[in-house]
Structure 1
Amino acid sequence: MSGLEEAGEILFFSLRDGFVQVSAFVAVTVLLFSYVQYRSGGRLIEALENNRKLQPIAGGLLGLTPGCGGAIVAMPLYIRGSISFGTVVATLAATAGDSAFVILALAPEAALYAYSMAFVAGVSFGYMIDFWGMGVGRVDRAVENISRPVTDGGFATTSVADGGPSVPEYERGPAQCDCDPASGDSVLLTRVSHLAHVAWWGMAVAGLVAGVEYLRRGAPEVALEFAPTFDGLFTVAGLAGTVLSFYLYFVGRRYIGTGETGRVRESFADAYDTFQHAAMETSMVTVWVIAAYLAYEYGMVVFALDIHALAAAAGVLAPLAGAGLGLVPGCAPQIVFATIYANGDIPFSALAANAISQDGDALFPLVAIDAKAAIIASIYTTIPAVVVGVGVYHFWPYARFGFGVLG
């Protein structure tokens, strides 16, 4: 296989796998929390606002939900002052991410221990941050070169820690498009975008079916083919879903609304608005996930690394590497990491450290809203990750390579 053919194969496999293995599951979790918010009419947020002492626990539970849907919902609440910064850190530290689906399917015992540790460590550290006042304001000078946070819609905001308003000053109604409604092209593209949105959900359902079956079969190699088979469903749903995600994120949101991507919604106008929000949110995640997939796959080809040999030789550095990888935003690197663990190539201490350190796709909305807070929170989640990972390595010697892996 020539270099060009290999590069093309990596491209198509990454475009396909990213949607089925990640986005389809993200869509379900985001939709679930959005629908709960729609049916509760905003009471979920009110409950969090009125129980500040329990917020880190609530954040930990949101993060513990497989996938990133719960954590994604929690992030924008910080910028409006609804939850504390300690709750943000607790949520991110406990975030199981989309790699949880891989570990739950292939190493359920390891998942139980790793995510329990992540929950306890995240909630505990979250309470410590709130108790000692270790929020953004305390470390503001360390990130003073970070630009003023700006939302994806172009509205300048001021960080809560800076004493400014916690939300952009604009009307929080249903999402608005940036188009000229009188334009003929806008009318056409509005209709096309709504059709793309409906088709996107069709691919999301198909991708979810393929993704669940993929995990049930033990994450096998899936051929790139177009046929009435499992491999064909996996391929069509993945490629079509990715194409539609890119369309919705880069084009469609200008004609049917941004879906309030990366922002909290107090309520939704109707069920369709709820579905649209989930689709737009997931489309944004898909773009970042595909970018991460491609970066990893091309990087592995260029550098030709032997992960098992490196992990075996690393010793106590393995959990440090797992914690360090968690600093990379998005779920794609963590999914790869979880797959490598399921193959028996890295120790459990590295998995535990990565489970705590990783912030998953939830970091992207926070980056869009307040980059400063995102950087600080990501650094904070690495601290308990290193402590727990190194502790597991030294005091739990039997939890090494292959711990809890089925088969």
Structure 2
Amino acid sequence: MNGYITNEKDLRGEPMGSEVLSIILNSAENAFLQVGVFVGAVLLLFGYINYKQSGNFIRKIEESKKIQPILGALLGLTPGCGGAIFVMPLFVKGKVTFGTIIATLIATMGDSAFVIISTLPLEYILVSVISFIAAIITGYVVDYYHVGDKLLKNMNIITREEAHIINEKSDHNIINNESVEEFVHIGHDEGDEIDVILHHNAKGHQEHGTVAYEITHKGFIIYWGVLVIGLILGIMLLFQMDVNDLIIKDLGKIVGIGGTILSIILMIMSKKFIGDDTHEEAELKSISLKETIIHSASETAFVSTWVYLAYLIYEFGIFFLGKGNYGAGELIMTNLMTSAGLYAVLVGALIGLIPGCGPQVIFVALFTKGLVPFGALVANAISQDGDALFPLLVIDRKSSLWATIITTIPALIIGLIIYFIEMRMV
């Protein structure tokens, strides 16, 4: 087992209720200190890079027609969904090809990228290289057959005139007391048809003046404070130090369990459950460093909560398979995953069909636990679109459906090839 607290001895001779409670608490501690704090650090770093560069990168994609799929794939490789989200409306406005959309989505791992970066960086690099190559090839093949031209021809969205009528009847989401004129859009303009669909018609995560809004936009300071302390403890754990036997007794338990509880609260207040990033939030982060820090806290809470859920699935699975004997449960689980490796590749690709990052985070977290073969991880990484698909889904469902189907094809092919290579090497 990869955890540092829960083990066979912890679970022997305890009443069932105590064992269940022990798993719940230890999983909370481990999820936050082993993964969550590192996710927060990496996410904030890339959030700052995105804040500085996202608008410029999108403009480069618009201006570089011949290499758009390559640039789209590069943007998709950026951990998280912020950069990839910006590309989706560009296709509808005819500024990028559909192959660019496909390349961006194939290269995107969404927030699950933060999990594997934080735990298995070498595997992340290998997955990224494979996804990048698959993204470019598939993107150019899609453009060669002019799939996007057919989709644009049959696309039916509101006209600019209809958008202005709707725009007059709705208020834009004002952030930090900035007026509509000061709000900078990426990939579209204020008041056009895309703006109305993505911002005015779509419900945001929060309404201003609500308790949830106040908690996320003020409580993020406390959350980052706990994360900093947790990061220090997490680094100490990497050096095999006992963080529960320091000057403050059980400090690891206090910070780990407390951090997971705060993550769950912040995720609920942020109204982030399956997806954690909207087009509007991505734009806000690109124009405001404060919003970048606020939403990075919410995204970290989102990922940490789903990682905690993955840990619970793993721990309870082992516990009940072994009927209370942890070692026996691990052996049974290992045998099950070995015999079901081929199906795991199919499952990984199918889970990738689900929009949003939540289920993907669980799948990747299970890979870090050794329950998923590398081929299945690759299949999921190529197939999944994270939150990036949501803008296209809102604008034109037919295009989003074709994008989902097309990205799944290379996911299955490459995932199965890698799986069979893995089997030969064993």
Question: Could you tell me the TM-score, scaled by structure 1's length?
Answer: 0.65
1:387 to 413, 416, 419: 413
> CA 1:370 to 1:319, structure 2 compared with 1: closer, same or farther past 3 Å?
closer
List aligned pairs for 1:239-278, cutoff 5 A. Answer: 239-251=257-269, 263-265=281-283, 268=286, 270-278=288-296
> CA 1:225 to 1:46, structure 2 compared with 1: closer, same or farther past 3 Å?
same
CA displacement, residues 201-223 of structure 1 (integer Å, 9 cap, x when unaligned): 12233344444555x45xx8x98
CA displacement, residues 69-125 of structure 1 (integer Å, 9 cap, x when unaligned): 3x4431354146476554454344334622244333xxx4x6554442232123322
1:14 alignment partner AA? S
**SS of residue paired to 1:178:** coil
> CA 1:112 to 1:303, structure 2 compared with 1: closer, same or farther past 3 Å?
same
Give the greater-gyration-radius structure (CA): 2
> CA 1:224 to 1:31, structure 2 compared with 1: closer, same or farther past 3 Å?
closer
**1:178 maps to 2:207:** yes
List aligned pairs for 1:215-234, cutoff 5 A. Answer: 216-217=238-239, 225=244, 227-228=246-247, 232-233=251-252
List aligned pairs for 1:329-344, cutoff 5 A. Answer: 329-340=359-370
Equivalent in the alignment of 1:56: 69
Equivalent in the alignment of 1:128: 141
**1:119 maps to 2:132:** yes
**SS of residue paired to 1:90:** helix
* Contact 1:204/1:241 (8 A) holds in 2: yes
> CA 1:15 to 1:177, structure 2 compared with 1: closer, same or farther past 3 Å?
same
**SS of residue paired to 1:363:** coil
Question: Could you tell me the TM-score, scaled by structure 2's length?
Answer: 0.63
Equivalent in the alignment of 1:73: 83
Coordinate RMSD, CA, aligned: 4.7
List aligned pairs for 1:5-404, cutoff 5 A. Answer: 5-40=18-53, 42-65=55-78, 68-69=79-80, 71-79=81-89, 81=91, 85-95=98-108, 97=113, 98-104=115-121, 108=122, 113-134=126-147, 165-169=193-197, 170=199, 178-180=207-209, 193-212=216-235, 214=237, 216-217=238-239, 225=244, 227-228=246-247, 232-233=251-252, 235-251=253-269, 263-265=281-283, 268=286, 270-302=288-320, 306-314=332-340, 317=343, 319-320=345-346, 323-324=349-350, 329-340=359-370, 350-358=373-381, 363-364=386-387, 366-367=389-390, 370=393, 377=403, 379-394=405-420, 398-400=424-426
Gaps of 5+ in 1: 139-153, 181-185, 401-407
> CA 1:337 to 1:284, structure 2 compared with 1: closer, same or farther past 3 Å?
closer
**SS of residue paired to 2:194:** coil
How far apart in 2 are the matches of 1:132 and 1:63? 22
How far apart in 1 are the matches of 2:205 and 2:422? 54
In the comparison of the two structures, how many residue pairs are matched?
350
Gaps of 5+ in 2: 1-13, 152-171, 174-187, 323-328
Q: CA deviation at 1:295?
A: 4.4
* Contact 2:389/2:400 (8 A) holds in 1: yes
Q: CA deviation at 1:334?
A: 1.3
* Contact 1:86/1:130 (8 A) holds in 2: yes
> Could you tell me the percent identity over the aligned residues?
26
Q: CA deviation at 1:244?
A: 2.7
* Contact 1:63/1:91 (8 A) holds in 2: yes
